[in-house]
Amino acid sequence: MRTLRLAAVTALCLAATACSKDGGSSGEAPASAPASAPAPTDADKAAALAALPAPYNTGDLSNGQSKFALCRSCHTITEGGPDLTGPNLYGVFGRKAGSKEGYAYSDAVKAAGFTWDAAHLDKWLSSPREFLPGTKMTFAGLHDPKDRIDLIAYLKVETGYKPAP
């Protein structure tokens, strides 16, 4: 009788553990593990978004993507993508401003001296010419703060940003 009950409890526990594991990451991990493989899935992007520091983890990636339409004529964001009027933006987070090899920046950006992070990008995107007078990025600015959050979240997810360890 006692052993039976124990067995039943054990079985329940096992089932519960299995369930919580399936609901967590163990079901996903093996599928997304070959990180070097191309084309992250929507689930990978959702996970990358959730891992961003606040408030960017609340970003709306589809709005960010549609705001990126404002940048697309001058910037590519894919790894190894070409420079257009503006430099390729893959890996821009953590990169020193004006430092992408092979791109001819203005003196203003070359002399900026900071490293791109969300805070700098937020100011830059709200008005590039007010933030760095003399820049040759002719973009009027994105005035809605929530649009900037969404666009920065989108850029983080798409350009290979890795949170600091």
Q: Got the DSSP string for 21-46? A: HHHTTTTTHHHH--TTSSS--HHHHH
Per-residue contact flags (x/-) with ligand HEC for residues 75 to 94, judged by CB under 6 A? x---------xxx-x--x--
C-alpha distances out from residue 36 to 32, 33, 40, 46, 150, Å:
10, 8, 10, 18, 26
Distance of closest approach, residue 33 Cβ to ligand HEC, in angstroms: 31
Number of residues that bind ligand HEC (CB under 6 A): 27
Distance of closest approach, residue 50 Cβ to ligand HEC, in angstroms: 22
State the Cα–Cα distance between residues 49 and 64, nearest whole angstrom. 12
Q: Does 109 bind ligand HEC (CB under 6 A)?
A: yes
Per-residue contact flags (x/-) with ligand HEC for residues 41 to 70, judged by CB under 6 A? -----------------------------x
Q: Out of 83, 100, 117, 122, which residue is the one contacting ligand HEC (CB under 6 A)?
A: 100
Distance of closest approach, residue 163 Cβ to ligand HEC, in angstroms: 19
State the Cα–Cα distance between residues 157 and 61, nearest whole angstrom. 9
Q: Assess contact for 98 and 112: CB atoms under 8 A.
A: yes
Q: Assess contact for 133 and 108: CB atoms under 8 A.
A: yes
Binding site for ligand HEC (CB under 6 A): 70-71, 73-75, 85-87, 89, 92, 95, 97-98, 100, 105-106, 108-109, 116, 121, 125, 135-139, 142
